[in-house]
Structure 1
Amino acid sequence: MGRLFSSLERSSYLQQMSTEQLDLLVIGGGITGAGIALDSQVRGLKTGLIEMQDFGAGTSSRSTKLVHGGLRYLKQFEVKLVAEVGKERAIVYENAPHVTNPEWMLLPLIEGGTFGRFTTSLGLKVYDFLAGVKRSERRYMLNRTRTLEKEPLLRKDKLKGSGVYVEYKTDDARLTLEVMKEAVVRGALAVNYAKVDGFIYDENKKVIGVKVIDQLTREQTIIRAKKIVNATGPWVDTLREQDNSKKGKYLYLTKGVHIVIDGTRFPLKQAVYFDTESDGRMCFAIPRDGKTYVGTTDTYYKDDITHPRMTVADRDYIIDAVNYMFPEVKLTVKDIESCWTGLRPLIHEEGKSASEISRKDEIFFSDSGLISIAGGKLTGYRKMAERIVDIVCRDLGVKERCQTDRVTLSGGDMGGSIHLPAFLEGKTKEGMKLGLEEEEAYRLAKLYGTNVSRIYEIISTIGEEANRYGLPSSLLASLRYGIEEEMVATPVDFFNRRTSAIFFNIAWVRTWKEPVLKYMKQCFQWSLEEANYHRKQLETEIEHATIPVDEVVELKKQII
């Protein structure tokens, strides 16, 4: 792709958005907003998108990192939801095979647990049917012996057998980014760290624009658009309040927490979906890149939505869940390397607990013309976008239909998932010819897909520069590519959303944070004060990813 998404050009992109009326302005740069921007741009609408943090910095980088079909929603008879998102998994996979891949999931049957053999077998069969699962990925049942062969760490005293079915594992932040990059390469304008500071209305009290504050330069811009969509996830009601249109249904935020353990301490062979002993809620334990991560909790949340934190109680809940289902692991607090916390923007339903509330999306229409969307799941982002853009096109008299089921995302242009293994093999060999270790070359090819060619192009030219900053050439190439073509504006953007290292390789972050800061200071011409600010932000992010909040201490602070 061309260099159309550079953080060095953020101000000019905002300026460009302000010079002419857009057909559609999307507020919110998570997976839903990115999906809307892509669908809109593909249909020929002049599209802009602004995000007050980094792209995917909210819920869309803090999920369970599964493009999954919502098996547990069958228990709530959400048949239509399961059918829709189940079928969407295959589309997401084919459109971006480098960031999404099938993952066989084991569902253990435990004496006294939630799932019995007959109901599990039937439920998984119905799930496969609704989701349109292909024959090679349909569920099968295992006895106790075969189950332990697949995952020896499972508790043996109460195990009766298991069901095995397919989910799809993803890198949620990079999926969001690849959708955004594809929208941009097709002509959309998108800028991070651009916060709405108020709506602009015409004489009929219809919304026609927004005031935007650049969070990095503090400059104000006015952007006008024929239609404005509020796709801000947990902040949807905040913008509805600014628009004086928060009426009727409202958001119910729930918190999900995940912990990461090194694979040597929790050597999980097989992804497992299991119910907890304490309250029967469901958890995932998933191996990834030499680590195992486990989550999620599902509790009501009403604190700071910009920086949600794992609490001591959250941490202990997951540790207890692991030690119940995998007693030989004997997990302790010291084994946790990192964690993340995300918020689910669900729609409030009277009398229902956090885990019982529907995951269906909801569209809100304001008298001012503002359109808001909330709820939904990562897996269903494309269909959510389609529904919104259908409405926008109807209002604007545009006849084009949704085509994104056939749009290959940025980095995914290798001819479909069937060609992924050969692509990875070829690009790994190409990287090794540049002097990379085999493991590193493979990692880059998997991370960037077909965009890895640009990474390799940079590597071939930066040897001297890499030495000057004391950085490995592959790291500097990723950083430079991130700045020039993935709008990396801060060190946190790079270490978190672009590489996931802050969650899955925290030691790597600590090793390279100072050389990365040094390079970015030079690149962006930061003052010493600005560089120190970004260092502090990164250190805070590391703290949030490693140290839980003690609720008792927090409560005392509030009282004081």
Structure 2
Amino acid sequence: MTHTALTPEQRSNSLSAMSTETFDVLVIGGGVTGAGIALDAASRGLRTAVIEAQDWAAGTSSRSSRLIHGGLRYLYNLDFKLVAEALTERGRLLTKIAPHLVEAQPFLWPLKQRVIERAYSAVGVGLYDVLAVAGAGGKKTVPIQRHLSKKGAMRRFPDVKPDALIGAIEFYDARVDDARMVIALVRTALQYGAEAASRVRVTEVTKGSNGRVDGVRATDLETGEELRINAKRIINATGVWTEETQDMAGGTGGLKVLASKGIHIVIPRDRIKAKSGMFLRTEKSVLFIIPWQHYWVIGTTDTAWHEQLKHPVPTSADIDYVLAHANEVLAKPLTRDDIIGTYAGLRPLLQPKVLDESKSTKVSREHTVTEVAPGMVAIAGGKYTTYRVMAEDAVDFALGEQLAKAKPSITADLPLLGAPGLEAMRNQAERLGAQYGFDADRMKHLLSRYGSELGELLESIDEDESLGKPLAAAPQFLRAEVHRACTVEGALHLEDIFIARVRLNSESRDRGGAAVDEVAEIAAKALGWDEARVAKEKENYRARIAAELAAEEQTTDEAASAERMKAEDIVG
């Protein structure tokens, strides 16, 4: 395999390098921000290491609304700069950085009043389009808004209640497989010489005799071994764990972050008849009804979360809230029986004040970078869409003005693995589909996950014909996708496959339970597990399923969290 594969061997080599070298930049946190920082730093030629305490994207970055969007609602707060920045990034992701993982998606904005609301909304959405085109250097990266009559809106969304709208504006944003994007970022960072290891937990931030942060002590949770990593600069990108990580540096500086829970439900694609998604404003947040190839994602909520941070879960009340708001506009009301999956994530809400005003700080609209202690910076806030800008700001800040000018960020035009040659691969889709016996639906699914790397997946099928078969319990996925999760995409455990790679944990009614035996069999062969290890992995994942299903029956966060925590983590 290429030197861009995340594997147990690569992880071991990276840990060895981390134990012996001094790095220009050590990134703590393997969500979208940390992964983006690792790629930004590595592609500038800086010797870079990135570590994550759980699996890649295990925190917020695998539990989002899976949207790449400008944030239409921010226009109502007249936050033009923020929206312009996000729309510029959306354009880059759609065209250059990750066109295989990010796809343009139409949404309806339902209108209730004839003249004033349509005029008011048209100006807002029109400005959205103008800012998007301006950010893309005058080029259109998505179609511009269309005004629809009631009849036109119902043609686009036949399952809307006739009295829910008098017309609509159809506008475009984009959707993303959030966890796959993080894995692509980490793998692309490897391509530029970064060292990367998941399931490595920092236990101490160390300082030299001059009082400057000079590295960390950490535990490899897979083996229990302790290691010391030396680094000239540390960037803390740990989201809702920001304060916990920066407290280890013992300084007075840093950021204050609160956790806010957002939940989503997943519904089968054929349950709602519509060609477009829908965007609704609620009293507390916004609700998106987002179409994917085989299902709908509906969310989200926005409530304070005071429980453990590792495993947020939706409550029964959360699920009822999302159903009730969706049913306000759906002609055929959704019930609990329609739900095939649920998930919850924590947004790190940045509080306005930094902990120590005397430390240098850069506040950039939604995100903030500040010095925790000499040699260590923290970044928080922002949103998934603007991860690249956050990464650039964090590395610039850590380097200081002079060095940042000498080694500027180049990620604005840097494609992720799977993007170069995408069009040529798309042009082969029909021929390859015929060759391997895959229909157009299957080819679309594979291209949207692997892009121009699809050839590598097909090569694995050439080597082992059995990998070309669909999973018996989840035929939307091929056995080859499980194999690739283990041999290229950094899965170390069964749960890693189900949660962030072959995403049955949130996309199937039994959270992938029926596929456990087959997936474990493929993983065991790919990762060299013995029978005892296979039994442990299955038992662990099944316990997790039971805990997650029990949690969503509870009415309070406290009770739901307690149920979820009955299933122990596989390591650490």
TM-score normalised by the chain length of structure 2: 0.88
Aligned to 2:101: 99
Mapped partners of 1:388, 1:198: distance in 2: 21
TM-fit CA distance, 1:157: 1.9
Aligned to 1:462: 464
Taking a change above 3 Å as real, the CA distance of residues 488 and 259 of structure 1, as seen in their structure-2 partners, is same
TM-fit CA distance, 1:395: 6.8
Aligned to 1:380: 386
Q: Which amino acid aligns with 1:319?
A: L
> 1:503-552, CA deviations, whole angstroms, 9 ceiling, x for partnerless residues?
22456933321122234345444455543432233224434665515135
Mapped partners of 1:556, 1:511: distance in 2: 24
CA contact (8 A) 1:319 1:331 kept: yes
Mapped partners of 2:372, 2:43: distance in 1: 26
Aligned to 1:274: 280
Give the RMSD, CA atoms, in angstroms. Answer: 2.8
Aligned to 1:355: none
Q: Which moved more, 1:425-434 or 1:208-217?
A: 425-434
Aligned to 2:153: 147
Mapped partners of 2:49, 2:253: distance in 1: 27
TM-fit CA distance, 1:349: 4.7
TM-fit CA distance, 1:192: 0.8
Aligned to 1:5: 5
Mapped partners of 1:405, 1:365: distance in 2: 25
Mapped partners of 2:144, 2:272: distance in 1: 28
Q: Which moved more, 1:389-398 or 1:446-455?
A: 389-398
Percent identity between the two aligned chains: 31
- Residue 185 (structure 2) aligned to one of 179, 182, 207: 179
CA contact (8 A) 1:382 1:404 kept: yes
> 1:262-291, CA deviations, whole angstroms, 9 ceiling, x for partnerless residues?
123233331000123xx2631000111221
Mapped partners of 2:377, 2:172: distance in 1: 35
Aligned to 1:49: 50
TM-fit CA distance, 1:83: 1.0
CA contact (8 A) 1:339 1:545 kept: no
CA contact (8 A) 1:340 1:545 kept: no
Aligned to 2:446: 444
Q: Secondary structure at the match of 1:429?
A: helix
CA contact (8 A) 2:477 2:502 kept: no
- Residue 419 (structure 2) aligned to one of 408, 412, 418: 412
Q: Which runs of 5+ in 1 are unaligned?
A: 351-357
Taking a change above 3 Å as real, the CA distance of residues 203 and 297 of structure 1, as seen in their structure-2 partners, is same
Mapped partners of 2:249, 2:94: distance in 1: 37
- Residue 348 (structure 1) aligned to one of 342, 345, 351: 351
- Residue 240 (structure 2) aligned to one of 234, 244, 253: 234
Mapped partners of 1:521, 1:53: distance in 2: 20
Q: Which amino acid aligns with 2:316?
A: V
Query: Within 5 Å, which residues of 2 pair with 1:111-260?
Result: 116-132=117-133, 134-135=139-140, 137-245=143-251, 247=253, 249-260=255-266
Q: Secondary structure at the match of 2:196?
A: strand
Q: Which amino acid aligns with 2:428?
A: G
Mapped partners of 1:90, 1:7: distance in 2: 32
- Residue 292 (structure 2) aligned to one of 283, 288, 291: 288
Q: Which amino acid aligns with 2:518?
A: P
- Residue 523 (structure 2) aligned to one of 520, 523, 530: 520
Mapped partners of 1:70, 1:190: distance in 2: 32
Taking a change above 3 Å as real, the CA distance of residues 308 and 280 of structure 1, as seen in their structure-2 partners, is closer
Q: Which runs of 5+ in 2 are unaligned?
A: 354-363, 563-572
Q: Which amino acid aligns with 1:292?
A: W
- Residue 312 (structure 1) aligned to one of 309, 312, 316: 316
TM-fit CA distance, 1:143: 2.2
Q: Which amino acid aligns with 2:112?
A: I
Taking a change above 3 Å as real, the CA distance of residues 506 and 223 of structure 1, as seen in their structure-2 partners, is farther
TM-score normalised by the chain length of structure 1: 0.90
Taking a change above 3 Å as real, the CA distance of residues 533 and 556 of structure 1, as seen in their structure-2 partners, is closer
Taking a change above 3 Å as real, the CA distance of residues 223 and 549 of structure 1, as seen in their structure-2 partners, is farther
TM-fit CA distance, 1:464: 6.2
Q: Which amino acid aligns with 1:293?
A: V
Taking a change above 3 Å as real, the CA distance of residues 307 and 551 of structure 1, as seen in their structure-2 partners, is same
Q: How many residues align?
A: 541
Q: Secondary structure at the match of 1:343?
A: strand
Q: Secondary structure at the match of 1:116?
A: helix
- Residue 301 (structure 1) aligned to one of 300, 305, 326: 305
Q: Which amino acid aligns with 2:290?
A: I
2:484 paired with 1:481: yes
Mapped partners of 2:540, 2:167: distance in 1: 47
Taking a change above 3 Å as real, the CA distance of residues 245 and 119 of structure 1, as seen in their structure-2 partners, is farther
TM-fit CA distance, 1:227: 0.5
CA contact (8 A) 1:17 1:223 kept: yes
Mapped partners of 1:176, 1:83: distance in 2: 23
Q: Which moved more, 1:54-63 or 1:520-529?
A: 520-529
Taking a change above 3 Å as real, the CA distance of residues 3 and 25 of structure 1, as seen in their structure-2 partners, is same
> 1:137-177, CA deviations, whole angstroms, 9 ceiling, x for partnerless residues?
22232222221121122222241211121101111111111
CA contact (8 A) 1:503 1:545 kept: no
2:327 paired with 1:323: yes
TM-fit CA distance, 1:385: 0.8
TM-fit CA distance, 1:463: 2.6
Mapped partners of 2:324, 2:481: distance in 1: 38
Q: Which moved more, 1:152-161 or 1:127-136?
A: 127-136
CA contact (8 A) 1:309 1:549 kept: no
- Residue 434 (structure 1) aligned to one of 409, 429, 436: 436
Q: Which amino acid aligns with 2:160?
A: L
CA contact (8 A) 1:267 1:292 kept: no
